[in-house]
Structure 1
Amino acid sequence: MKVIGEKVTLRKIEIEELHALWELIYGVENPEWKKWDAPYFPLPHKDFETFQKEHREDKIIIEANGEIIGIVTYYWEHEPSKWLEVGIGIYNSAYWNGGYGTEALRLWVDYIMSTKDIPRIGLTTWSGNERMMVVAEKVGMQVEGRMRHCREYNGKRYDSIRMGMLREEWEARKEMVKAERV
């Protein structure tokens, strides 16, 4: 699997790249990215050997300018009903606010929708991560649910935000982009 965009490439990680990804995630105590990626959940430290043992062959990295900057993921909320959720993490803050996350999420949503028979695609974040909500909106998702004040971080209450896009909305968006290119 390899998807190439203008700014980023999504691809499976090579075994020899695992240490670089581990460094991005665990190489710094209290990493900046964790303040935005569900900071109300702890990030238990994993040594590299444990990280390497838990490595899954299907881990998809985001690469920009020849370096790993983050990952994209998906998981089944409920596979029998085809309820799938996606996620994205840009661990290298030098690539925040430059459109890298937006392009990566758009490519990932397009890939998932093109390869899986699902009626919708979802993403869950929290109201403290406004940039993530903007990125999700830019790729065509909308707020589908808001669980109020169910997250606490630094003594403040936040909402859990469920966003999503239906297959027909994704298809219409693809047609609109295709028409704009002509």
Structure 2
Amino acid sequence: MQVRIPGLRISLRDWQLTDLERYRSWMVPRQHWKALDSPYYALPPQEKIEIYVEQMRAQITSNSYPTIRSVLVISDRDTDEFLGIVSWNWESAETHWPTVGIIIFDPTYWNQGLGFEALGLWCDYLFYALPTIARLDLRTWSGNKGMMRLAEKLGYQLEARFRKARTVNGVYYDGLGYGILREEWAARYPRGIISYLQRQQEATYKPAS
């Protein structure tokens, strides 16, 4: 069964064959997203990207997605266009400690609140799908101001700062670790992120009496 999690303006969903060429087109050097998303790590070699694309093609064709998804596509709610991905991996599988990530590839879609909605839906999904986890982590660096704002807006707390741990273009930056506990997420979004966004929307557009 395929996963699709509808939001207000975006959806999180499984990969589709039409996404693969779009994904491949973003995984080339000198893309603006990479200047912010861990630029201290090089892109994978092209042969590794091709292997991943073919693995995804086989998974899509056979409809053999893992029960708990490790990656979902961010798509436009109206057009279903591929915009980016959300992901997670174990920081420590032994202690049920996951780290989340998000990429919206096209800068045209930045600074519109789509990352808040997408990562919020993803956190809702992971706290539901992984009942043993007590927390979610998010890692970034002090040069990525947008990701820092996103983490804080969602309610993540800055828990670690590794001073001068990253170098980008010969300049030192701090490595940052954010976290949010299950009970903190539940208190902040008791009915989920979409209910929260709907309330915010109603408050913004409520006519004056």
What TM-score do the two structures reach when normalised by structure 1? 0.90
- Give the corresponding residue for 2:43: 43
Provide structure 1 residue ranges, at least 5 long, that are not aligned to the other structure: none
- Give the corresponding residue for 2:113: 99
Superposition pairs of residues 29-68 of structure 1, within 5 angstroms:
29-46=29-46, 49-55=50-56, 57=65, 58=69, 59-64=71-76, 65-68=79-82
- Give the corresponding residue for 1:14: 16
- Identify which of 85, 89, 92 aligns with 1:78: 92
- Give the corresponding residue for 1:166: 181
What is the rounded CA distance, in whole Å, between the counterparts of 2:125 and 2:31 in structure 1? 29
What is the rounded CA distance, in whole Å, between the counterparts of 1:93 and 1:33 in structure 2? 7
What is the rounded CA distance, in whole Å, between the counterparts of 1:176 and 1:15 in structure 2? 33
User: Structure 1 or 2: larger strand share?
Assistant: 1
The letter of the residue matching 1:13 is W
What is the rounded CA distance, in whole Å, between the counterparts of 2:191 and 2:126 in structure 1? 19
Moved more, 43-52 or 163-172: 43-52
What TM-score do the two structures reach when normalised by structure 2? 0.79
Maintained 8 Å contact 2:27/2:43: no
Moved more, 15-24 or 96-105: 15-24
- Give the corresponding residue for 2:161: 146
Counterparts in 2 of 1:150 and 1:54: CA distance versus 1, 3 Å: farther
Displacement of 1:127 in angstroms is: 0.4
Maintained 8 Å contact 1:25/1:91: no
The letter of the residue matching 1:11 is R
Quote the sequence identity (%): 38
- Give the corresponding residue for 1:135: 150
What is the rounded CA distance, in whole Å, between the counterparts of 1:168 and 1:15 in structure 2? 38
What is the rounded CA distance, in whole Å, between the counterparts of 2:191 and 2:7 in structure 1? 18
Please list the CA deviations of residues 58-117 of structure 1 after superposition, one character each: whole Å capped at 9, or x if unmatched. 431100142111000000111120110000011011100011111101110111111112
The letter of the residue matching 1:156 is V
- Give the corresponding residue for 1:115: 129
SS of match in other structure, 1:112: helix
- Give the corresponding residue for 1:157: 172
Moved more, 36-45 or 92-101: 36-45
What is the rounded CA distance, in whole Å, between the counterparts of 2:42 and 2:22 in structure 1? 22
Larger radius of gyration: 2
The letter of the residue matching 2:43 is L
